Amino acid sequence: MKKILFTIIGIVALTLPAFADEVSFVISAPEAVEAGQYFRVSYTVNRGNVKEPRVSFSDFEVLSGPNRSTSVRQSNYNGVVETVHTVTFNYTLMASKEGSYTLPSATIEVDGKQYNSNSATIKVLPADKASQASGNRSGRDGNRRTASTNISNDELFMRAILSKTSVYEQEAVLLTFKVYSAVNLSSVSPGAIDIKDCLVQEVELPQNKSGNMEHYNGRNYIVYTWRQFVLFPQKSGELEIPSVKFDAVAAVETNMGSADPFDFFFNGGPRYLEVKKELHSPKLKLNVEALPAGRPDGFSGGVGQFGVTTTLSTNELKANEAVTLRMVISGVGNLKLIKTPEVNFPESFEVYDPKIENRFKLTNSGFQGSKVIEYLAIPRHAGEYTIPSVQFSYFNTEKKQYETIATDSYTLSVAKGEGGGNETVASFVGKEELRLLGQDIRYIKSGNVKLAKPGDYFFFSLGYWLCYIVPFLMFIAYILLHYKQMKENADISRMRTKKANSTAVKRLKVARKLLKENNKAEFYDEILKALWGYVSDKLSIPVSRLTKDNVAAELSAKSVGKEIISELENVLGECEFARYAPGDAAAAMDNVYKKAMEIIDKMENSIKR
């Protein structure tokens, strides 16, 4: 047995590196370029000792390449050093005609074997009309200006685009806000959207927006998909989507009026100015048609494409045992708004409220996934029962008609439970309705029943007096605690000393956030504020009068050890130095953050003793 186990472990150990060391050969290229513009195509392989790949660019002019570049990366995992060599072959190409082209797959030989890369599609856009008018490409981007720093509506604007212009009620439609930019766009604030008679759900987009080149109205723009919403109209008629305001900021080049190279050299090159501009999306109209007449009975309100399946947890059980009917509604559309179908269980079953689990996500076509509904029922006496089929009706937006799906029906065999399963019992839905069954026998209350003695009243009892005494004592305690709190708050110095640690912790949380954002300057400022603020509050010394010498003297008087004082001085000095020091900023910031937390904790413990 041990030999077999060791053999399996050895095979796995030899096989894993083969999978981990798989050859990767991929292409990298822009999605769109302008006709007459040169661009770069790269083929990258994760091997070091390789020859040039074989590739033919029949639709493009090769200006240079292949230009080889090599990189080496080492990693250490559990003492095992892994070295990865990467080689990239760069080609500089130019397309002369507009259209959609395929960048071909390349072939490379690695250790005697042939490997093919993937291919890529690239769009070649027409030349920009602004570039043609000025006779050079530098005039196209709109970034270089001499006197005016106004950004025209042709250089930066917002578009609102609907995926459909006509839909049915509850049918999903995608609303996209796109920024078209011919300038260096820095940021765009999110605009507020308010559409009446419509359920609006925002599509989650990446925080870091990446733009693609598009040709629009004779010009080439970098286009950013800024926000997207899925709309579910709730009312028929013409739906108006109002104009939405966005605040944009662009970096505009301001001192490129002179072509003198000496002026460029001595004045430090181009200078940029942040220019703000309001972007307003156009108003849109959406035609919403009412759902056709002739809705089926029990229409669920579903609009889209759906399917329904059901399963029963068991077909045989005993009386007073639970059975679960599980229904799954899956598809794409307004899943979130679908009504819960009703299941007609036999009257002798005790039925509970269904449990609903949403397993769908928002997509450009609506909510896609499934809605899981579990119906729990308990048969109270023995017999053969039938759980009838459920009719699920919805409107199919592709076929533009109503469809009804009938689920399976189930036969349930219930045997006698403990205590007998043929006794007549009450059947409830909400535990409130009482019925007569069989020979007019009413439901008998069971369990522990508490009886009251005659003449036993709550008035003037112990509980009665406690209802007065307990609130009075609580009121007195509140007054005393409030008076004590007011007295402590009056002593400002004492309050600052008491809250010094909590204030420092809040500042360190802010510093932690800045650390994650890699905001070096503000991070060290916040660490200094936390340390100096803590010492100021704890020693009751104004920040303006704090120096390293008097802090050291006061902390010594508070029985703080020399090692802790020395650590504090080192961290303060390290913060002052690290803001301008080169090197691994993230590692240094993380180290300073940990030291600051430890020092505040040590000083707090020392001063408390």
Per-residue pLDDT tens for 467-477? 888 998 998 99
Highest mean pLDDT out of 111-125, 208-222, 223-237: 223-237
**How far is Cα 303 from Cα 239, in angstroms, rounded to an integer?**
18
Of residues 514, 532, 533, the one with CA closest to residue 585: 514
**CA neighbor of 320 nearest in space, from 420, 436, 409:** 420
What pLDDT score was predicted for residue 441?
Answer: 46
Lowest mean pLDDT among 57-66, 128-137, 162-171, 235-244: 128-137
Task: Classify burial at 174, counting beta carbons within 10 Å of its beta carbon; exposed 0-12, middle 13-18, buried 19 or more.
Answer: middle
**pLDDT at 32 > cutoff 70:** yes
Q: What is the mean pLDDT of the chain?
A: 79
CA atoms of 12 and 32, how far apart (whole Å): 45
pLDDT at res. 546: 73
- Three-state secondary structure call for residue 401: strand
Query: Residue 239 in contact with residue 288, Cβ under 8 Å?
Result: yes
Confidence label for 567 from pLDDT (cuts 50, 70 and 90): confident
Q: What is the mean pLDDT of residues 316-339?
A: 92
Q: Kindly indicate the confidence band of residue 434, based on its pLDDT and cuts at 50, 70 and 90.
A: very low
- The answer to whether 45 and 108 are in contact (CB under 8 A) is yes
Spatial separation of the C-alpha atoms in residues 510 and 516, rounded to whole Å: 10
Question: Which residues make beta-bridge pairs with 385?
Answer: 412
Q: C-alpha 504: how far from its chain's center?
A: 30
Note if the pTM is more than 0.75: no
Place 222 in a pLDDT band, splitting at 50, 70 and 90: confident
The model's pLDDT over 247-266, given as tens digits with 9 standing for 90+, comes to 888 888 765 545 555 555 55
Give the pLDDT mean for 75-95.
79
Q: Which of 189, 176, 209, 180 is nearest to 249 (CA)?
A: 189
Residue 469 in tokens: 């005494």
Domains of the chain, each with CATH number or no CATH: 21-125 (2.60.40.10), 130-289 (no CATH), 304-462 (2.60.40.10), 493-608 (1.20.120)
Which amino acid is located at 376 in the chain? L
Residue 446's pLDDT is: 58
Rounded Cα distance between 17 and 33, Å, is 40
Q: List % helix, strand, coil for the chain (3-state, nearest 5).
A: 25, 35, 35
- Least confident residue range of 47-61, 324-338, 413-427, 585-599: 413-427
